[in-house]
DNA sequence: GGGCTTAGTTGGGGCGTTAAACTAAGTCCG
DNA sequence: CGGACTTAGTTTAACGCCCCAACTAAGCCC
């Protein structure tokens, strides 16, 4: 998603196209004169750039805005023409999302399937089939395809280093998927990273350049946006927050230690505390979402045991989050996964802990928010990641005068 | 230090000048043809850019490197002509460093003075006097002046929000100092941030784009470089690592809780554990550095009590660091302050904890290093921060043909 | 000493932005 | 109702920067 270097005039043009496109994304429709004012370019240049963006299908002329002088024709991101595709490979489901540059949803689907049991090759086949479904859903141009994977991913090489829950190891997923999709550019990234990206692009914290995404699943996942970009670290393994050592005498964790954060606030902890033995909520045979909704219903009904458990978990959530907020100073912490589903009860005690434990005045300006993207955050983030390629370099999108646009820089 | 936006040809020129300058800083002297090859520019452009950089005093033609064909004239960063000034305001001393673009030290000095007791206005006077000393030490052009302050700093406005040890609050330091220095551009930043910058620019981890700097002082300070840039967070309060809650039943901390990291590994913990009551090491009347050297001598001599204390502190250092490494995935953790001074004994147990607790394979590629910048890291980082202005925009440096260079963008 | 190789310069041309004048299309107000 | 005013957007010429290609420069190899 990092912008290509600017060194020659084509690079300058590219940078200015990206500047306009980014302005439209961040601040909504503008007249050409308005774009010129905001970006510091001249009206002539803005007009020329808008003409090119129109030719590439990225923007269109929309409604007319009257003013004191001649009415302005607003330029806006064009829905439907240029899309990004997100895929998600998870333990018991696969998902697809197709978004256009305007942020509109072209297609979205989730398939229940035992990807972990299917084996790598059949999983790739299934992802390829989903991708083709996405490709068929749009007659526009597809900027790229991004796969969200729960595990450690080498983004630069598109390799899944280790995804324990899927049983994948050193899987050359980008390559294998591109091979089944006529060489289209395929990116691979961690699901929490992509979820953070989705919150940054479109969620409750849209536009916030510094945010921390925390998702409650079997473990606890973390994704960090810092300075408007994903924090990736030296080898792409940032956001390993599940094993914050919070209680030296706590419960044993899969990592071999005791009292890790995810033993306190992970899904297992929730189900254990919320349900007495024999309770249907604790029955692994029942669908997980059904059980979580049951928990929510009980909380809403005021069930004492449930409320006490959620209060305790919310408190521990806040303790762990405060550590991260002290280190990262985000403007927002966004809760996803089951944290969001039960956020109504988790957030108040978590906010109290944050307020008490964050050293910066006024909590460093940090707000605790609940994601409204639900369990689709990762796949939406994938689609956004694909679109970000075009926002960084609009010349990737082909021009409509059937010019195949011999772009000098090879894809992927 | 973020690069100015590129939108017109002057911006393009600026970006290319910066590209060449950055190449010379990162990879040492090059011929003009070599610069062209490495950057992708043409030889003609590289020659033109080098001519301009020479005119601005940033580079010079150095030795001749023979090869197969015509010998190359190497272009190198020019010592002495363009400088950055770093200042440091600390509780019991103030410091000055003047560096040139080639990384050479033009001047460096430390003054023992009770800044906390002096009051803000006299402290600013003293800093201004030090800065003038630095200005007098060079006949070159000064890119800027950066002040390192132990506290919470609003970098954008040059305001010290809160520096408890100095007794400063909402101090408009950049403004006040610039007023005493003929309006020269003054930046203000947190000392740990600037120390991290110094390690990134010139220390044992030079060039590492992702590093974590940890300094042992009264508290524990942290500075994070991520993706080659300082991590600042939403309101500039990143790196508050001293109060990681590591031991719920530990010693009480000034923050009101128990078992914070700095109660385990801060200076007070070291002195307490290392010295029996009545020991000169624990005597607050003695100079701190003297006492620390005494501790080092005892450790070197194999004193059992000292070694046991250092082993315990090193272990706790590693426990806390592992949390940060799991979140940030840096390529290096650099220890500064007293951690570096006693690193010989602290590092081995700390490395063992890191290896055991970091989840990414091979510790995420992270190495634990000891700073060799000593207690000058912050002031050196300040000088580098000032120089970074020129590396980001070489047109800030005036041309030698006495052209006052009416730069469109105002300083500060 | 001639050929080869690589460094660096020169001149012409293309491209993108700028500046300024101009046209376009409304509102405001007497 | 119509002219002045205001703002949007286009046109044209000019300029700056980089690229390309040809050329000169200066050493090494045989």
Q: What percent of chain B has pLDDT over 90?
A: 81
Closest protein CA to C1' of nucleotide D7, residue: A69
- Averaged pLDDT, B140-157: 94
Residue B394's pLDDT is 96
Domain boundaries, chain A: 9-77, 82-195+377-393, 207-372
Dist. CA A376–CA A379, nearest whole Å:
6
Question: What is the DSSP secondary-structure string of B56-95?
Answer: TTSEEEEEEE--SSSPEEEEEEPTTTEEEEEEEE-SSEEE
Taking one residue from A and the other from B, the number of pairs with CB-CB distance under 8 angstroms is 159
Residue A403's pLDDT is 46
Dist. CA B230–CA B330, nearest whole Å:
12
Q: So what's the architecture of B82-195+377-393 in CATH?
A: 2-Layer Sandwich (3.30)
**Residue B139 burial class via C-beta count within 10 angstroms: exposed 0-12, middle 13-18, buried 19 and up:** exposed
- Averaged pLDDT, B108-117: 93
| Token reading at B4 | 């100015």
- pLDDT tens digit string along A350-376? 999 999 999 988 999 999 999 999 889
The CATH number of the structural domain formed by A9-77 is 1.10.10.10
Chain A CB contacts of B40 below 8 Å: 7
Residue A288's pLDDT is 86
Residue of B nearest to A222 (CA): B327
Chain A CB contacts of B260 below 8 Å: none
Q: Which nucleotides of D are covered by protein (CB under 7 A)?
A: 5-12, 16-22, 25-29
Contacts of B230 (CB under 8 A, 6+ apart): B1, B193, B196, B197, B223, B224
Is the pLDDT at A36 greater than 90? The verdict is yes
Q: How far are the Cα atoms of A143, A150, A204, B330 from residue A136, in angstroms, in the given order? A: 14, 26, 30, 41
- Single out the residue of A312, A299, A318, A307 nearest to residue A269, CA to CA: A312
Topology of B207-372 in CATH? Nucleotidyltransferase; domain 5 (3.30.420)
Q: Quote the crossing angle between the two packed helices A173-180 and A120-136, to the nearest 10°.
A: 50
B7–A40 C-beta distance less than 8 A = yes
Is the pLDDT at A156 greater than 60? The verdict is yes
Q: What percent of chain A has pLDDT over 90?
A: 82
**Beta pairing partners, A31:** A74
| Token reading at B299 | 């450790």
Q: Is the CB of B69 under 7 A from strand C?
A: yes
Domains A82-195+377-393 and A207-372 share a fold: yes
Span CA (B72) to C1' (C2), Å = 23
Residue B367's pLDDT is 97
* Min Cα separation A26/chain B (Å): 17
Q: Quote the crossing angle between the two packed helices B267-274 and B288-300, to the nearest 10°.
A: 50
- A128's enclosing H/E stretch is helix A120-136
Residue A19's pLDDT is 97
* Min Cα separation B246/chain A (Å): 7
Span CA (B120) to C1' (D26), Å = 63
Closest protein CA to C1' of nucleotide C7, residue: B70
Residue B401's pLDDT is 61
CB atoms within 10 A of CB A136: 10
A39–B328 C-beta distance less than 8 A = no
Looking at every residue in chain A, the average pLDDT score rounds to 92
Closest protein CA to C1' of nucleotide D26, residue: B70
Contacts of A28 (CB under 8 A, 6+ apart): A76
B323–A323 C-beta distance less than 8 A = yes
The answer to whether residues B158 and B176 touch, using CB atoms and an 8 Å cutoff, is: no
- pLDDT tens digit string along B322-340? 999 999 999 999 999 999 9
What region, left, alpha or beta, does residue B68 occupy, with left being phi > 0 and alpha being psi -120 to 50 degrees?
A: alpha
Residue of A nearest to B223 (CA): A327
Closest protein CA to C1' of nucleotide D21, residue: B44
- Averaged pLDDT, A62-89: 93
- B162's enclosing H/E stretch is strand B159-163
pLDDT-derived band at B176 (thresholds 50, 70, 90) equals very high
- Averaged pLDDT, A214-222: 92
* Min Cα separation A90/chain B (Å): 20
The answer to whether residues A256 and A246 touch, using CB atoms and an 8 Å cutoff, is: no
- pLDDT tens digit string along B211-257? 999 999 888 999 999 999 999 999 988 988 999 999 989 999 988 89
- pLDDT tens digit string along B60-76? 999 898 888 899 999 99
B15–A240 C-beta distance less than 8 A = no
What's the pTM?
A: 0.91
Which SS3 state, helix, strand or coil, does residue A340 take? Answer: helix
Nearest beta carbon to residue B237 from set A232, A239, A329: A329
A238–B327 C-beta distance less than 8 A = yes
């Amino acid at each position: 998603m990092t912008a290509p270097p600017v060194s020659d005039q084509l690079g300058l043009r590219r940078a200015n196209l990206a500047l306009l496109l980014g302005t439209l994304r961040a601040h909504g429709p503008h007249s050409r004169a308005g774009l010129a004012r905001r970006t510091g370019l001249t009206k002539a240049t803005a007009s020329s750039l808008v003409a090119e963006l129109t030719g590439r299908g990225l923007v269109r002329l929309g409604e007319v805005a009257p003013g004191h002088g001649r009415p302005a024709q607003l330029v806006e991101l064009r829905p439907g023409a240029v899309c990004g595709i997100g895929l998600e490979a998870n333990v018991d489901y696969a998902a697809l999302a197709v978004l256009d540059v305007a942020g509109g949803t072209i297609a979205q689907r989730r398939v229940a399937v035992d990807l972990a049991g299917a084996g790598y090759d059949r999983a790739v086949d299934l992802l390829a089939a989903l991708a083709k479904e996405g490709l068929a859903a749009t007659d526009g141009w597809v900027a790229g395809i991004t796969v969200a994977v729960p595990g450690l991913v080498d983004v630069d090489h598109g390799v899944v280093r280790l995804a324990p829950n899927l049983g994948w190891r050193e899987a050359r997923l980008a390559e294998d998927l591109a091979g089944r999709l006529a060489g289209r550019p395929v990116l691979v990234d961690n699901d929490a990273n992509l979820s953070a990206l989705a919150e940054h692009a479109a969620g409750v914290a849209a536009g916030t350049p510094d945010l921390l995404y925390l998702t409650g699943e079997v473990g606890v996942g973390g994704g960090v946006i810092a300075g408007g970009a994903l924090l990736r670290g030296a080898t792409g393994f940032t956001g390993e927050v599940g094993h914050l050592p919070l209680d030296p005498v706590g419960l044993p964790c899969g990592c071999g230690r005791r009292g890790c954060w995810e033993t306190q606030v992970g899904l297992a902890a929730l189900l254990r505390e919320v349900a007495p033995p024999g309770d249907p909520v604790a029955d692994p045979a029942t669908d997980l979402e059904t059980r979580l909704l049951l928990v929510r219903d009980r909380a809403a009904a005021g069930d004492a045991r449930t409320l006490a458990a959620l209060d305790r978990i919310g408190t521990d959530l806040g303790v762990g989050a405060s550590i991260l907020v002290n280190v990262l100073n985000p403007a927002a912490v966004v809760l996803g996964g089951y944290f969001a589903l039960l956020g109504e009860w988790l957030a108040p005690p978590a906010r109290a802990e944050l307020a008490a434990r964050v050293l910066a005045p006024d909590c460093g300006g940090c707000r605790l928010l609940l994601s409204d993207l639900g369990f689709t955050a990762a796949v939406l983030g994938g689609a956004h990641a694909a679109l970000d390629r075009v926002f960084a370099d609009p010349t990737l999108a082909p021009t409509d005068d059937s010019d195949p646009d011999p772009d000098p820089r090879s894809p992927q």
